Amino acid sequence: MGRVFAAAATILAFAGCSSASESAPEETDETVVARVGDGDSIATESGERVRLVQIDAPELGEDECYGQEAADVLEDLLPPGSTIRLEADPRLDDTDRFDRLLRYVHGDGLNLNVELVRRGAASVWFVDDRGRYADELLDAARDAKEAGRGLWGTCPGTRLDPERGVDTE
C-alpha cells in the first residue's frame, strides 16, 4: 500500500507540474490596442498595460527631446483598435516595477519594438539580460543613428548606450 500511495503521489506531483506549465501565460497572446501611453508603452482593451521590452523612447512628461514625436510614431503604427500579438521572452522579466507586461509587440507583420528603433523613435535598452531580438535591435539602432533618423537627427548629443536607455537631454 505504501508503494501504491508513493507512486500515486509521484504521478499527481508530475501531473501538477504539467498542468501548472500548461496554465502559465502563453508565450504569445493576441489582443487589441486601446491607447498609446508614450513612445514605448500601450494599454490594451482587456486592461493590460504593456511596456515594449528592450527599447526606450524619450519620455512625454519630462519634456525630453522627441518625446511627442516618438509617441506619434507608435500611435501611427498602432492606432486604437489595432489587433496585435504580444510575445514574452523567457530570458527577460515578465513585468516591470510598474506592473506593466514586458513584451515584444507584433502587428501587420512587424516586430514593433524593432520597427520603432529602426525609425529612430526609440533606442535599445538592455536592463539586465539581452533578449531574443537583441542583435536585431542593436543593428536597427546603429543604422538609425548613422542615418540620423528620428531622435538621432533631431536631438543632438543623444548617445547610443544599451545599458542606460535613451537620454536626449
51 part of the active site:
yes
Contact 65, 58 (CB under 8 A): yes
27 part of the active site:
no
Contact 118, 144 (CB under 8 A): yes
Secondary structure of residue 161 in the 3-state scheme: coil
Q: CB-side exposure of 46: number of CA atoms within 13 Å?
A: 11
59 part of the active site:
yes
- From the list 51, 103, 118, 119, the catalytic residue is 51
Distance CA 45, CA 162 (A): 31
Contact 165, 122 (CB under 8 A): no
- From the list 64, 87, 100, 119, the catalytic residue is 100
- From the list 48, 49, 59, 132, the catalytic residue is 59
Active site residues: 51, 59, 100
